[in-house]
Amino acid sequence: MLDENEMPLKPNELETIFPKELIKQEMSRQRWITIPEDVKEIYRIWRPTPLIRATRLEEFLKTPAKIYYKWEGVSPPGSHKPNTAVAQAYYNAKEGVERLTTETGVGQWGSALAFAARLFELALTVYMVKVSYEQKPYRRIMMETWGAKVIPSPSNATEAGRKILKERPDTSGSLGIAISEAVEDAATHEDTKYALGSVLNHVVLHQTIIGLEMKRQFQSIDERADIVIGCVGGGSNFSGGAFPFVYDKLHGEDIDIIAAEPMACPTLTKGMYRYDYGDTARLTPLLKMYTLGHTFIPPAIHAGGLRYHGDAPALCKLVEDGIIKARAFYQNEVFEAAKIFAQTEGFLVAPEAAHAVKAAIDEARKCKEEGEEKTIVFVNSGHGHFDLAAYDAFNHGMLQDYEYPEELIKEALKNLPEI
């Protein structure tokens, strides 16, 4: 992590937007960090989440593979996001913070933080990517019900938002823009800190409760995973599920770890591994990651939680080193997989999670072709109850596949800092 002068960032430089304990976790080299009892007490509302064998899906595919999924949709907001939202709200409240700001794509992170902020009596302002604000009104309603103020981004509430609106008045927004607005808001108010839903180390750390539970659950049934899969937007749910298994892979176990992303926002498969800003207005530190460029504005696909130009630096390093494989999928094949899952296993999953479903089905079919009895597990990161418009578009043949043009990616990459 580098500062604006391209020098290693000092921990105290982050104190404008983050509480001290989260900064310590961001920079920590410790393998284990204790979960506070107050956080565990709230986790007990929905954790541990179930590890479910998808036997009906196996039968449908006629595969010799065993397919399991870690079902994070049982949390109050309906996704994996409260795993870090609760922890971040706790540490901010403990240090006397009165208000939080954040960004959100489809609203999974925003609703999770609204839930957590209410529990710790914190005010919250959420900058929601405009296309999702318009497409996903029910998540906005959830956030507002828990007491959050929700603003479509880009907005006139910040200098960063006003600048973007002047340059691109018809923009559908992006997570990079929403992050700029939330960071600016926090940095200009003394009683306020910023909370991030993905990418950074402390967020990934909190999410590893997913993978740690998975490992214990497999041990309890005398099973082990051969293939671990998750969808990737910024990398939090994927890393949370996969990183505990990365440790095993690095110590000699034969495990394939697969990151599934949208073809419309192919960060890991078509991006460059370079230092870049985490937001459009260049307010964040420089992070070494796969990136499509901080000026990248993705198309308005329904998997809005995966519309981010970069990814978690720790995840990107593992992809660069060949420890993790990345694959990209089109919208229609992803929703086809989600429909198969709904018709066999019953659960209607979020479009983001459906990317993991697609990758898992592909691996199961590969096992059938090759006659291998592998155990596949994927993180099913959330339910799709508020994504019915996307399913409706797919069911009626109105969903369009989109592959982000190479020339536009190259154009955005021209704006990367030279380091």
pLDDT of residue 139: 92
pLDDT band at 113 (very low <50, low <70, confident <90, very high): very high
Delineate the domains of the chain, giving CATH numbers in brackets. 37-78+207-411 (3.40.50.1100), 80-201 (3.40.50.1100)
- Cα-to-chain-centroid distance, residue 76: 17
Segments of 182-263 assigned E as strands: 192-194, 227-231, 256-262
Query: Is the pLDDT confidence value at 412 over 80?
Result: no
Q: Annotate 324-387 with DSSP letters as a single string.
A: SEEEEE-HHHHHHHHHHHHHHH---B-HHHHHHHHHHHHHHHHHHHHT---EEEEEE-BB-TT-
| Count of CB atoms situated within 10 Å of the CB of 8 | 9
Strand locations in 130-269 (E): 149-153, 192-194, 227-231, 256-262
Residue 298 contacts residue 233 (beta carbons within 8 Å): no
Confidence grade of residue 145 (pLDDT, cut at 50, 70, 90): very high
- The DSSP secondary-structure symbol of 401 reads P
Average pLDDT of the chain is 93
Triad 90, 95, 96: Cα angle to 5°: 100
Whole-structure pTM value: 0.93
Chain mean position to CA 34? 23
d(CA 262, CA 152): 23
What pLDDT, on the 0 to 100 scale, is given for residue 281?
A: 74
* Distance of alpha carbon 208 from alpha carbon 214, whole angstroms: 10
Using alpha carbons, list the distances in angstroms from residue 2 to 13, 50, 182, 413: 11, 39, 20, 19
- Report the C-alpha gap between 415 and 177 in whole angstroms: 15
Give CA–CA dist 411/102, Å, rounded: 28
Percent of the chain clearing pLDDT 70 (strictly above)? 98
pLDDT of 279 over the 90 cut: no
Q: Is the pLDDT of residue 304 over 70?
A: no
